[in-house]
């Protein structure tokens, strides 16, 4: 089931894999999962071991979501049983958090 995320242009979020069996019990993967950007301007930074990664928003608001795919091997033996999931990342503008008051040099009152 895809994961839908919304981040501002200033954010990243850690995503952690928690593989389960068809009955919902914890499961083990064979090898390291592979994270990749299928489309869009966001990026992904897998952590060592591949069971988690940081998803980074793009630097500008996207008109289409970034799609990130995670692929893994569920077969613990010699074969390969490919499983995958996707992340749909929408990037929004960051809101103002301060007014940022600044001054100019003083001038005579005339």
Give the percent of the chain with pLDDT over 70: 100
Q: What is the pLDDT of residues 72-104, one digit of tens each?
A: 999 999 999 999 999 999 999 999 999 999 999
Query: Which pLDDT score, from 0 to 100, does residue 62 have?
Result: 82
Query: Which pLDDT score, from 0 to 100, does residue 18 have?
Result: 97
The Cα–Cα gap between 110 and 107 comes to: 9
Query: Which pLDDT score, from 0 to 100, does residue 47 have?
Result: 98
Question: Is pLDDT of 63 > 90?
Answer: no
Handedness of CA 33, 34, 35, 39 (dihedral sign): negative
Q: What is the pLDDT of residues 21-52, one digit of tens each?
A: 999 999 999 999 999 999 999 999 999 999 99
- Residue ranges of domains in the chain, CATH in brackets: 3-92 (2.60.40.10)
Cα angle: 85, vertex 88, 89; to 5 degrees: 135
The Cα–Cα gap between 41 and 61 comes to: 9
Question: Is pLDDT of 1 > 90?
Answer: no
């Amino acid at each position: 089931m895809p994961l839908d995320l919304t981040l501002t242009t200033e954010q990243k979020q850690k995503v952690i894999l928690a593989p389960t069996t068809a009955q919902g019990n914890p499961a083990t993967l064979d090898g390291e999962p592979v994270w990749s950007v299928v489309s869009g301007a966001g990026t992904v930074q897998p952590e060592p071991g591949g069971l988690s990664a940081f998803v980074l928003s793009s630097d500008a608001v996207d008109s289409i979501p970034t799609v990130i795919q995670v692929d893994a091997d569920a077969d613990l033996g010699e074969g390969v049983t490919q499983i995958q999931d996707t992340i749909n990342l929408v990037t929004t503008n960051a809101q103002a958090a301060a007014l940022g008051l600044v001054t100019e040099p003083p001038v005579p009152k005339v």
